[in-house]
Structure 1
Amino acid sequence: MIAGSRHPVVVIGAGPVGVTAALLLARRGVQSVLLERHRDVYPLPRVVATDDEVRRILQAAGVHEEFAALARPARGLRLLDARHRVIGEFRRSEHGHHGFPQTSMFDQPELERLLRAALARRPESELLSGVEVVGIDPSGDGPVRVSFRREGSEVPEYLEADFLLGCDGAGSLTREAMGAVWEDLRFEERWSVIDVRTHLPVRSWEGVEQVCDPARAATFMRIGEDRYRWEFRLRDGEELDDRRVRELIAPWVEVSYDGDVEVIRQAEYTFRARVADRWRRGRVFLLGDAAHLTPPFIGQGLCAGMRDAYNLTWKIGRVIQQGAHESLLDTYENERKPHARHMIRLAVAMGWAMTGGQGRAAALRRSLTSAACRVPALREAAGRDLSPALSRSALVRRRARLGGRELVGTACPQPWVSVDAARIRLDDLLGDSFTLLSAVPVAPWLRAVAEAIGARLIRTDDLGDDGTLAAWLRGGRADAVLLRPDRIVVDVVPAGAANFTDTAAWAPLLCTTRRPSPAEPLATAALSRSASR
């Protein structure tokens, strides 16, 4: 990289979100430079869990098979009372909606090494480590100027970016440069996080255990073959020494002598719930912890940042590679910010339900939780995908429900499909295009609409899946759906709607997914004529 040079995308921060964003851009042919303060991967574990949606994003980044080799599927969540008796159990499937285990445990440093190794194989991306970003100028309509210093040097250098992605964490300089501030969602607790390695027998059901004890709320999970994590809420002014740690983990493992448990890390964290008030200023964007902070009770901290990367990168790719109008990028904050706020509030609510309250309030909470856990429908609902539909935008046609499940704004399922006698995952077939997925023969007018917006036409009958996609469409009372490159449903064609005319509303996609050309007004008119037939 030449100092003073101009690049399509500059990413500040080479953690999982930043590197994944660069990989997603690279697979779309978009060049990027990553600026990272640390020379190497941070060696201690932090995030330890992810969901099937993020596994699907890792598939899009081209690393899902390597991740599968280091991930460990988890059975789900158990709620325990103060005496470690089971209050309720919520199981997670090993084959979720997105085609992967609903919950996977892993070691964050291993994931980061995997991602960086994949990045090193991409000629479109360059990682510059050992540099500190000292200034960002997001003003004006031109490129963004980023100033930095190399390790051991006091001489500032700079480069320019057509787009800047701030993946620089909770203390984000990017957020400060944008003039964004935190919106406090009113949650703050001190917890001690303890990662250990031991070959002693550990009482584990191969899932997450949450101790619902207001006097000593705790979380336990198995991460790997001999790796475990405990998290304990701290009292005011409390510090945990080695003796106290051994007392706290005793319900799970009998610690009999020194050296039988290796503490890899013991760190204190303050869990907070916050959302930045703005995620974009011109060509500068916030992703991950720079944009939102969540308590860990539903394991969605990293997941939210990875969703940010997936949502934004395909849109930037369209702007840079296919001449899409920059108004397409307005949909990033419109879609992701309400989604992130919802997930944070859900985490706060789950945290209170599992650990909050004292005395009678705690007893009442335990009774209500225990009763709820005995209702099969509630157990089933808790085991499903927690992610809500995206809010309405130019690329999400939310409207009055037509019956059945609301599909618009949600991701389509990902089964295995057959192509030329080979079994592949659906996303590997769909590629980086819009897709009209239909369960019925495609009428000429609908074919014309799909062709006008550059969408592929795929019949579910031709995929050789296990019926998952057809059942999903039936459940949403839809004959067809229009999918974005990130597999989110833009709109549906209702079942039996032979004279469905609402596809005229798809015309704005001509402006938001590629730059209008002189012929576009004719194509828009064709859309309207076809939809009226």
Structure 2
Amino acid sequence: MAGQVDVLVVGAGPSGLALGIDLARRGVDALVVERTDGLFPGSRGKGLQPRTMEVFDDLGVLDAIREAGGAYPVGMIWRDGRRVGEHRMSDPPEETEGVPYGQPWMVPQWRTQEILLARLRELGGRVAFRREAVGLAQDADGVTVHFADGADVRARYAVAADGGRSTVRRALGVGMTGETVDPLPALVADVRLTGLDRDNWHFFQGGEGGDPLMALCPLAGTEDFQLVARFPEGAALDPSPDGVRELVATRSHLRREDVTDVRWASDFRPRAALADRFREGRVLLVGDAAHIHPPAGGQGLNTSVQDAYNLGWKLGAVLRDGAPASLLDTYEEERRPVAADVLRLSTSVHRGETRRGGATRQLRLGYRTSSLTEETRRTPGPVRAGDRAPDATVDGVRLFDAFRGPHWTLLTAGADLARAYGAGVFLIRPDGYVGWAGETAEGLAAYTGRVGVGDAYRTLG
């Protein structure tokens, strides 16, 4: 391991790898460390929301992600060995020019992480496995992270991306406030089996007074099914291969021997929790280290990746572009309220109070109240400062193509832009949100000077 780096990222999950990619393309000397000897092996976070697909477009992995996965299948309900009806998991997607990736995309988490790791290495980024962080100390100039093997790494900033049981968060003394979302324990596993088609997501309902639900979802791009099962309060869960086979045989018409392989299994109890703060000095928290989501609605991995996307450009601006260090304060200012809102949403989806659809696709999330946001128009149009910048075609150029990369983009008024955004001038942040909007460019220089952008942006229109 390097003895000194600009940024040390602890944890090679989706948020840690996404942050590593963003830093690598900005020329930031970063190291991602992971305590285990490889990437997470399970399918757990399999749903990628449309906003995350846009992030992956910018990070250069969208084609690989699309090739690796597929759309969600229609649910099929089974009872007593018979198909009794279909179940639509979410409202129909809306794909328009402004929303080019309208539907959620299913990719097993292990495959998403493989793709992110390959992209990180392609950009020259580094990951060190079998490196367990056990403590840290920080001062005014940096952070020293201690490892179980006795090594230390010194960094200007450190990022905790090491999951819900984050060692780094605990070493900082940052608490986490939350609740048990569902009193019933659950089991998730990746299995291979025969006897079920791969065109449907299969739901097996117990009879009156019978066992709770079990579901088997074909994982696009693989031969596997993801199994999820709930259990009565106090039940003993057995995630062993024999236990999983017995579960399938008990709750469906399939036999034990129809389960030909149990590739990964884990038990869990759905929780929702939020870290008391997302920053402590020179250490910042992302992903599950900062917020824990129940699985329903596919919000956890997506929110985690978008944490990294928000933080990456800010670290790059401070470390490489001369932006004030205070810019990093806006990470918690922007992402903690978003995480809190998404936690409420995912809890509501888990409890059956909210249907998957527009809100869960994360396209409506934004930063209108952020200190980085300035809306100076007297009559704003459909897109305001702080909103996600939608796709469009301006002067024959697709906006997402113009945004792609680690830069800011200035959109000047024109007929094409006015139809999509409303009249005005828009400065788009590197993470695809409108930072500043005005009727003319008057006031733009003051904003870019305050944020530390200067004139380092591309102009279109």
Q: Same fold (TM over 0.5)?
A: yes
Alpha-carbon shift at residue 402 of structure 1 (Å): 4.5
Alpha-carbon shift at residue 199 of structure 1 (Å): 4.2
* Residue 191 (structure 1) aligned with residue 186 (structure 2): yes
Residue number among 29, 32, 37 corresponding to 1:31 in the alignment:
29
2:427 aligned residue: 482
2:409 aligned residue: 435
1:90 partner SS: coil
Indicate conservation of the 8 Å contact 1:99/1:415, yes or no. no
2:93 aligned residue: 93
Unaligned stretches of 5+ in structure 1?
151-155, 355-368, 374-378, 441-459, 462-468, 521-533
1:195 partner SS: strand
- Please provide the CA RMSD for this pair: 3.6
Indicate conservation of the 8 Å contact 1:77/1:209, yes or no. yes
1:128 aligned residue: 128
2:452 aligned residue: 513
Alpha-carbon shift at residue 203 of structure 1 (Å): 6.9
For 1:76 and 1:413, locate their aligned partners in 2 and report how far apart those are by CA, in whole Å.
28
Distance 1:98 1:209, change over 3 A: farther
Indicate conservation of the 8 Å contact 1:76/1:91, yes or no. no
Give the aligned length.
442
* Residue 222 (structure 1) aligned with residue 218 (structure 2): yes
For 1:219 and 1:470, locate their aligned partners in 2 and report how far apart those are by CA, in whole Å.
47
More RCO (CA 8 Å, sep 6+): 2
2:132 partner SS: strand
Indicate conservation of the 8 Å contact 2:4/2:153, yes or no. yes
Distance 1:425 1:72, change over 3 A: farther
1:102 aligned residue: 103
Distance 1:436 1:76, change over 3 A: farther
Structure with greater helix share of residues: 1
Alpha-carbon shift at residue 319 of structure 1 (Å): 0.8
Q: Which residue type is aligned with residue 24 of structure 2?
A: A
Distance 1:80 1:89, change over 3 A: farther
For 1:76 and 1:264, locate their aligned partners in 2 and report how far apart those are by CA, in whole Å.
24
For 2:259 and 2:75, locate their aligned partners in 1 and report how far apart those are by CA, in whole Å.
27
Q: Which moved more, 1:177-186 or 1:271-280?
A: 177-186
Q: Which moved more, 1:276-285 or 1:233-242?
A: 233-242
For 2:335 and 2:24, locate their aligned partners in 1 and report how far apart those are by CA, in whole Å.
22
For 2:170 and 2:41, locate their aligned partners in 1 and report how far apart those are by CA, in whole Å.
27
* Residue 169 (structure 1) aligned with residue 163 (structure 2): yes
* Residue 345 (structure 1) aligned with residue 344 (structure 2): yes
* Residue 180 (structure 1) aligned with residue 174 (structure 2): yes
For 1:298 and 1:277, locate their aligned partners in 2 and report how far apart those are by CA, in whole Å.
24
For 1:211 and 1:386, locate their aligned partners in 2 and report how far apart those are by CA, in whole Å.
33
For 1:32 and 1:141, locate their aligned partners in 2 and report how far apart those are by CA, in whole Å.
19
| Map 1:35-54 → 2, pairs under 5 A | 35-54=33-52
Alpha-carbon shift at residue 431 of structure 1 (Å): 3.2
1:14 partner SS: coil
For 2:109 and 2:429, locate their aligned partners in 1 and report how far apart those are by CA, in whole Å.
30
Percent same amino acid at aligned positions? Answer: 28
Distance 1:73 1:417, change over 3 A: farther
Alpha-carbon shift at residue 148 of structure 1 (Å): 1.2
2:458 aligned residue: none
2:421 aligned residue: 473
1:530 aligned residue: none
Indicate conservation of the 8 Å contact 2:15/2:161, yes or no. yes
* Residue 255 (structure 1) aligned with residue 254 (structure 2): yes
2:272 partner SS: strand
Distance 1:33 1:239, change over 3 A: same
1:336 aligned residue: 335
For 1:387 and 1:486, locate their aligned partners in 2 and report how far apart those are by CA, in whole Å.
14
Alpha-carbon shift at residue 160 of structure 1 (Å): 1.0
For 2:118 and 2:257, locate their aligned partners in 1 and report how far apart those are by CA, in whole Å.
37
Structure number with greater Rg is 1
Indicate conservation of the 8 Å contact 2:194/2:259, yes or no. yes
Indicate conservation of the 8 Å contact 1:91/1:383, yes or no. no
Unaligned stretches of 5+ in structure 2?
238-242, 456-461
Q: Which residue type is aligned with residue 223 of structure 1?
A: L
Alpha-carbon shift at residue 415 of structure 1 (Å): 4.9
1:164 partner SS: strand
For 2:410 and 2:230, locate their aligned partners in 1 and report how far apart those are by CA, in whole Å.
49
For 2:88 and 2:346, locate their aligned partners in 1 and report how far apart those are by CA, in whole Å.
18
Q: Which residue type is aligned with residue 421 of structure 2?
A: L
| Map 1:307-386 → 2, pairs under 5 A | 307-353=306-352, 381=358, 385=362
